Structure 1
Amino acid sequence: MHSCVFGLLAMLVSTMGTAATFTLPTDDSTLVGEVRVVTPTPDNTLLDLMRHFDLGYTEITSANPGMSVWTPGPGARVVIPTRFILPPKPWEGIVVNIPQRRMFYFPPAKKGKAAEVITYPIGIAREGWSTPLGLSRVTGKFRDPGWFVPKTIRDEHRAEEGVEMPAYFPPGPDNPMGMLAMRTAWPGIFLHATNRPWGVGMRVSHGCMHLYPEDAAELFAQLKIGTPFRVINQPVLVGDAEGKTWMSSFDPVAEYPGEPTPAEWAERLLDQRTLDAALAGQPFDPERKQRLLDAPTALPVALNDSSVDPGAVLSAMPAEAYDLPPYGAGANDASLPAPKQPPADEAAANP
């Protein structure tokens, strides 16, 4: 891609404002963001909402159990789970949590400015193609990559689909690598854009991590070679905010032998906190914890007995109207989507 074209793409991304960027807490808090509720127009799907609010498929479906992905329904109250428990420290470079299907980028703090975290949803590896765990680093950045498809992937595609897969994908909107790719020190493992953005948040890759094209463009522009890159496998997260202990849970990824179960993670993370909460007269609700383990959800839930019921909080939350146009089937490739425009009557009222 020519530099002038890439500059135009970067400007488009800056106007779309999809990324979740937060100031890092300076107290003992470990949660950022806020949950929202929206009511979409009938032509919008959960896929449209998840992309607009920079969420993955599992995040938005777990926050809205039983709701149709394609037709949320007239007057639907769609929960937007844009509150996040931060990963365990150190908060530096990139941290990817595989079960959460989300990455966190902690850029170097700018002089005189507060430290920030930027977070994006990702598509993760399908069964049998696990991403390595542990420490790595960013070793390369590539615009308009081509992709020589490994024989193992071509063989798998032939066995599953009954057709041959091309041995090479040239740069372009149909390239599974997308238009931007960031290489790690692990052989063959990239963090890259995708030609199937509706798959972000699903198990779709062969070890790489997939980003929305617009997220890849934003990250690519600021990520430096040598940035630390840490991958963890933690299906339960526990954090602190507002004097309460919060927990969120995610479907475990079974391909990592010897890793703790979600219940073991919860016991490990809550052991001392359970005692401290009881001594403070705010004991945890064991049923609330068990519900999170039985029905994983990206929504952080306060465990303290004195906390208001999370369902009641969501029911009382006013819903915002979401009337932007759908992305459309044509947006499901590696190209950046067109910037969203308000409805014609709203635009006329605000020239």
Structure 2
Amino acid sequence: MLSRVFAACSLSIAALLSANPVSALELPLPPPGDDIVGQVQVIKAKYEDTFADLGKTYDLGYQEMIAANPGVDAWLPGTGTEVIIPTRFILPPGPREGIVINIAEYRLYYFPKGKNVVYTYPLGIGREGWGSPIAHTSIVAKTKDPAWYPPASIRAEHAADGDPLPTVIPPGPDNPLGPYKMSLGVPGYLIHGSNKKFGIGTRTSHGCFRMYNNDVTEIFPMVPVGTSVRIINEPYKFGRAEGKIYLEAHTPIDDHGNPSVVDKHTAVINALLKREDIANQMQLDWNTVRDVVAAEDGLPVAIAQPTPPQSSVAASENAVQNP
């Protein structure tokens, strides 16, 4: 696995092992025409480390850590075990503006207006039966120290499990909305904090988008009411970097946030066709594509070199024939 990371990201071992933890990911946007931000990191686990704690430290969700580290015990990696910190991302397709949520990767991207950076944060999304919406909406309201008024459907669910809820839960450590909430134009759905860090990066919510409390505290003052929010479901992202074409693959889920059984070959082709700027300008290595799709580890991997312009091809052929 580590050799695959090195090949995919072209990073030295020294650079990887010297990476420092972060509390939030603020990353400079790539040069025009490129799509990849951040760097993969590798750390040596300490005895007390768990994936949940490492995720909190490096601003990653639980599922991201699991996917990038197959075969490593999430609750007891073991002292000295090398753990991949997957903090390199292909930016989501479409306009780089406002908030973009990709439920397939349990992640939010925020492109602040007038700044050449992107902020990206892990999310908890809707669990089975309570899927998060796919929509193009906006932030319609912001609330500090929100009270929670559990809807009747959630109160009934908790009552059936022997855990009745009150009609209102005031602000504080027991409030599942955390210190801040941002209401979406889709009625009933929020971006908010959480009093359960283990739910970040998993399918555990009733459809809302949960954030670590330190993350929602950071993003809350930056995002004005009216900000565009585009919620997408893209398990396969293509992008350019340093003259190469990359693919990043995640486990597909359906548009309701539930596990999806799809024809992965067709899904990858459809994702590629959305990127018309690269679909006709590449020499695709399908063996590598199959490996990336099978791994579903969320790590961007080079899958193609851009096709040279026809004039360059003709010139090269002429040079070979007439040295």
Q: Which residue matches 1:63?
A: 68
Contact 2:245 2:305 in 1 (8 A): no
8 A Cα contact 2:192 2:216, kept in partner: yes
TM-score (norm: length of structure 1)? 0.75
Q: Give the secondary structure class of the aligned counterpart of 2:304.
A: coil
Secondary structure in structure 2 of the residue aligned to 1:292: helix
Percent identity of equivalent pairs:
39
Q: d(CA) in 2 for partners of 1:169 and 1:243?
A: 53
Q: Which residue is 1:128 aligned to? A: 129
Determine the C-alpha separation between the residues in 2 that align with 1:261 and 1:141: 40
1:262 shift after superposition: 4.2
Q: Are positions 1:47 and 2:49 aligned together?
A: no
**CA deviation after TM superposition for structure 1 residue 209, in Å:** 0.2
Structure 2 match to 1:267 = 269
Q: Partner of 1:196 in structure 2?
A: 196
Distance in 1, Cα, partners of 2:104 & 2:120:
15
User: Structure 1 residues 44, 169: CA separation in 2 closer, same or farther (over 3 Å shift)?
Assistant: same
Say whether residues 1:119 and 2:124 are aligned partners: no
Q: CA deviation at 1:197?
A: 1.2
Instruction: Map 1:128-167; keep pairs closer than 5 Å.
Output: 128-159=129-160, 161-167=161-167
What's the offset of the Cα at 1:182? 0.7
| CA apart distance, 1:42 | 0.7
Deviation at 1:274, TM superposition (A): 6.2
Please say if residues 193 and 211 of structure 2, whose CA atoms lie closer than 8 Å, have aligned partners that are also in contact. Answer: yes
Instruction: Report the AA paired with residue 67 of structure 2.
Output: S
Equivalent positions of 1:214-225 (< 5 A) are: 214-225=214-225
User: Hey, what does 1:227 align to over in structure 2?
Assistant: 227
* Matches for 1:1-351 after TM superposition, within 5 Å: 18-110=23-115, 115-159=116-160, 161-256=161-256, 262-270=264-272, 273=278, 276-278=281-283, 283-284=284-285, 286-304=286-304
Distance 2:75 2:36 in 1: 31
Summarize deviations over 1:226-255 as a string: whole Å, max 9, x none.
111110111111111121111111122225
Distance 2:282 2:305 in 1: 10
Q: 1:261 to 1:162 in 2, by over 3 A?
A: farther
Which sections of structure 2, spanning at least 5 residues, go unmatched?
1-20, 307-323
Q: Distance in 1 between matches of 2:66 and 2:98?
A: 29
* Cα displacement (A) at 1:51: 0.8
Where 2:220 maps in the other structure, the secondary structure is: helix
Q: Evaluate the alpha carbon distance shift between residue 174 and residue 297 of structure 1 in structure 2; reply closer, same or farther with a 3 A threshold.
A: same
Distance 1:173 1:236 in 2: 37
Ranges in structure 1 where 5+ consecutive residues have no aligned partner: 1-15, 307-351
Higher RCO structure, 1 or 2 (CA under 8 Å, sep 6+) = 1
Question: Is this contact kept in 2: 1:236–1:262, CA < 8 A?
Answer: no
Q: Report Cα offsets for 1:49-98 as digits up to 9, x if no partner.
A: 11110000111110000111111012100000000000112111000001
The alpha carbon displacement at 1:205 in A equals 0.8
Q: Match of 2:100, as an amino acid?
A: V
Contact 1:234 1:265 in 2 (8 A): no
Give a deviation string over 1:285-309, Cα, whole Å, max 9, x none.
x232223323311111111389xxx
Cα pair distance change 1:274/1:185, threshold 3 Å: closer
